[in-house]
Structure 1
């Protein structure tokens, strides 16, 4: 396959290309990665070899007939689109939850704590907000956290600032990450392509949980995106400073560290909301405690609901919370300042006992990440001792 620009005489040659889907040298991907002259705009790819071009008239140039019957157009900016197979109705819709299909197929799993949704072709009948809101609501029900990918239209800082309000309702059970990542596609001879970052970010979440604990923010110089050589939009410190207070978590390139996550705010992390669930580690740590304590108290069912049971509950849950305290999961230097477990006749009154209910109250002082480093330098005008 060859292409020449008449005005410059520049020639591009691409060998072994194919129109077959998922071929390592699929022609549209090859042009996108290697061509400076051509972009493929036809969808879907043709399945047959094009017919031969008609021979030009004796008084015409080779491509002269294109003036009256155009077969090509000048190159335009590539607008791109996410996904080829899925739309919103594949995730949510009538009877999806009842039948455990689409997004709600996760109800077949006993436990999950991070949700990623792959790119899809948007259905014009259902907007993106409905999917984001439904996914965040589902995560709230299942004590999980939703990683939202920034839209492909966010190609600079200003578009991210203007577009954040359209990414569903603010919720502490989800977070947005911007920009997208660029990395080699092993299925296409390692050609550099643009990908959504949710998978890589979920990996950083998991790595941070194991190495430091769920109470540690999955961000900073330790939160490196391994195997990611480039980001789709480079961001500066001032640009990061504009996006972070809006609840947009940035991916950055830092000297010596490479590509890192540089933000840890939920969708309620906008400073104007002043929400106490603005930070990802605080919300995820609370979810971790809820799930752990819920599963750790199943033995309580059908036990005699009286003081011996309450004392055993305080002992068991107190031991669990104290273990976390010793690992540095809470604020405070003393246990009484870091957490409490209350289960007694004040939390469970006689009416609760009659109804078969035992009430347990657990409180904790969460650690919050340091987002900014402020240095104050003062000059001391010292006097020389005589």
Structure 2
């Protein structure tokens, strides 16, 4: 209620102009789940370019297809990826490398461990210096004798971290707290030493501190780490993982996620398959998150006849997933540029992101403009006859077109089988619906606990209508008028007295989607030419 004025004069009151606008959510934030050379484990990390992934997760990694998929994503137009690294320990092998610096009074040891599992930590070296000044010590309220500096170098990348004015005493600059907050390379391992660790000696003449064993400490004997073992389905969807947000379900801490890729991880270098149990769990997770799962065809599908069974052969019949066949031939930098059949999910996710940015989520990422960058060809050449065999069951084909390149030649979901007659047959129709659902859920959250009356219904109709009208102007729906393109209903017809008593308000939203022109029919006829005039 407005506050009554207490004195004569002009008073200003700002009033809202209308309902809160609904903003469209992102459509192509892609989650990649798998094995990497380094980086946080079971912690989603957002990367906005290949440089981010290379710095945090170690770039391409021979035992895993994850790095190749992320590379292809950014190469094909992807802008934002959420990386979830999983790690499987190998019995008898340390997960993380450990470095130890002894205390001069033998009162304990300063033990450091690599910040994440992997062989990468074996190249770490650390150095202690006693270089704190009296002025710095006074400012921190500690004696200079309690302070030291720590330098850490990653021998593989050359990256060096320097932490000055650390202490083992109770203080904000206590070493374990500083490393946990600021270091990308190491963490404190075990208990704090009783006193300040000893400083390293100066390097020998002509050598750097990192080349001299007396000037810095390397990985302790017997503490070298390995890269772990190949992932299994239980590393993604183990018992209790969903409740604890572990494995695949650690993606719950990333919001939002629109596309989901799980590159093959079963088998030796290169990994080739994904377990059926994991596929089923990934589909269910994608449905819960209103995300879309991109499926690679199995490596043993080497003929069109093997792929003709379609998504049903993988046990996937969800509208929130799509299957692509065959894999892509790409030069592999880890093998001197030799061509290798690689999963296509990363490249296709990047293509989706590129198409969404250029045309909108309602445009099928397929056709002659849907070129896949970085691929030299499909792993299996497909002609018109093979594509005609694979499209009806819902297999999206990758093919090479002369003068164009490698393209996606299909845009059907795993409910795209002609015999099903599903309303979610096409990928852009399903992704548009997911986009509308997520945008409206987030954009109408303000309506919770508002008075459930005609005033609220009118505001909901207006906010939803304005959002859909904006999409209609962009060409997201069929129809020449708004009445033909979409419908918003929220009134006494959708929310009756029983609904009001139950605390419910119901909004009916309908839309007329654009469907891809899969078949362009040309009708030609001869006409008898007549001489002019």
**TM above 0.5:** yes
Q: Distance in 2 between matches of 1:164 and 1:323?
A: 35
Of 447, 456, 459 in structure 2, the residue corresponding to residue 309 of structure 1 is: 456
Would you say 1:108 and 2:267 are equivalent positions? no
- Bigger mean CA deviation after superposition, 134-143 or 88-97: 88-97
Deviation (angstroms), 1:375: 0.8
Deviation (angstroms), 1:22: 6.4
Deviation (angstroms), 1:218: 0.8
Of 497, 506, 511 in structure 2, the residue corresponding to residue 359 of structure 1 is: 506
Q: Distance in 1 between matches of 2:421 and 2:445?
A: 36
Check whether the contact 2:310–2:390 (CA below 8 A) recurs between aligned residues: no
Q: Distance in 2 between matches of 1:358 and 1:245?
A: 41
Compare the two structures and name the one with the higher strand fraction: 2
Q: Deviations over 1:155-214 (max 9, x none)?
A: 111111146432113111111000101112223332322210000000001111111000
Check whether the contact 2:266–2:275 (CA below 8 A) recurs between aligned residues: no
Q: Deviations over 1:287-311 (max 9, x none)?
A: 0000001111011112211111111
Query: Match for residue 89 of structure 1?
Result: 234
Q: Where does the alignment leave 5 or more consecutive residues of structure 2 unmatched?
A: 1-59, 63-228, 268-273
* Residue pairs, 1:178-327, within 5 angstroms: 178-327=325-474
Q: Distance in 1 between matches of 2:377 and 2:287?
A: 33
Deviation (angstroms), 1:385: 7.7
The 1:332/1:163 distance shift into structure 2, 3 A limit, reads: closer
Q: Which structure ranks higher in relative contact order (CA pairs < 8 Å, sequence separation ≥ 6)? A: 2
Q: Deviations over 1:268-302 (max 9, x none)?
A: 10111111111000000000000001111011112
Q: Please say which structure displays the higher CA radius of gyration.
A: 2
Would you say 1:349 and 2:510 are equivalent positions? no
Check whether the contact 1:330–1:338 (CA below 8 A) recurs between aligned residues: yes
SS in 2 for 1:273: coil
Q: Deviations over 1:332-376 (max 9, x none)?
A: 001000001111111111122222211111000000001111111
Query: Match for residue 81 of structure 1?
Result: none
Normalised to the residue count of structure 1, the TM-score between the two structures is: 0.75
Q: Distance in 2 between matches of 1:384 and 1:255?
A: 40
Q: Please provide the CA RMSD for this pair.
A: 2.1
Query: Match for residue 119 of structure 1?
Result: 264
The 1:163/1:274 distance shift into structure 2, 3 A limit, reads: closer
Deviation (angstroms), 1:384: 5.8
Deviation (angstroms), 1:382: 5.5
Check whether the contact 1:266–1:279 (CA below 8 A) recurs between aligned residues: yes
Q: How many residues align?
A: 304
The 1:337/1:95 distance shift into structure 2, 3 A limit, reads: same
Q: Deviations over 1:14-68 (max 9, x none)?
A: xxxxxxx968xxxxxxxxxxxxxxxxxxxxxxxxxxxxxxxxxxxxxxxxxxxxx
Normalised to the residue count of structure 2, the TM-score between the two structures is: 0.55
Deviation (angstroms), 1:131: 1.8
